[in-house]
Amino acid sequence: MEAITLVPVGVVRNSITQPVDDVWGGLISTIELDSNRFTPRAIAGLDTFSHVEIIYHFHSVPENDICLDARHPRGRSDWPEVGVFAQRVKNRPNRLGVTVCRLLKVSGLSIEVEGLDAIDGTPVLDIKPYMKEFAPSGVTQQPQWATELMSHYWNSAGRK
């Protein structure tokens, strides 16, 4: 399949400097848009939304560590071995992350958000306003291992 070239539109700035798990609750990040390409007009009106969806690149994952197969989430052998596309692990093909964050402030080329699970320096590939019509239709279901994993995910750094 033909490769696709993307250019980051901005970068994440926050206090998390190393790839870690389960520290994202309440974390404040600033997304700095690329001032060579954008003016504040690119985010005009964004502040009329309460939440934004951020697409970013897990840039700290080495290409050699990408999984194309199945593995136990977090290496937990008591959880089932599932495919890389059946989990949200960062060692995934194309290394894309997607998270809906609370929007705190828009100022100039800066977007302040709460709950972005990306480390300092992460390249941002897109910013979309969250619209309720994009919520999942109907009731969602997920396996027990996912609920157990996620029960710690939004811990805060410093108060686990």
Cβ burial, residue 106 (10 Å; 0-12/13-18/19+): buried
Among 20, 121, 150, 156, binds its own copies (CB under 8 A): 150
* Residue 43: partners with Cβ closer than 8 Å, 6 or more residues away: 33, 106, 109, 111, 127
Q: Per CB under 8 A, which of residues 26..65 are in contact with its own copies?
A: 34, 37-46, 48-51, 53, 55, 57
Least distance CB 114 / its own copies (angstroms): 8
Least distance CB 85 / its own copies (angstroms): 4
Residue 134 DSSP label: G
Task: Give the SS3 label for residue 31.
Answer: strand
Task: Give the SS3 label for residue 151.
Answer: helix
Name the H helices within 20-104: none
Least distance CB 158 / its own copies (angstroms): 19
As beta bridge partners, residue 128 has: 53
Among 22, 61, 88, 112, binds its own copies (CB under 8 A): 88
- Residue 9 contacts residue 126 (beta carbons within 8 Å): yes
Site string for its own copies, 119-138 (x = CB under 8 A): ----x-xxxxxxxxxxxxxx
Instruction: Say whether residue 139 binds its own copies (CB under 8 A).
Output: yes
- Of 28 and 125, the one with the shorter C-beta distance to its own copies is 125
Among 15, 20, 21, 81, binds its own copies (CB under 8 A): 81
- Of 100 and 157, the one with the shorter C-beta distance to its own copies is 100
As beta bridge partners, residue 56 has: 97, 124
Among 61, 74, 92, 110, binds its own copies (CB under 8 A): 92
Least distance CB 68 / its own copies (angstroms): 6
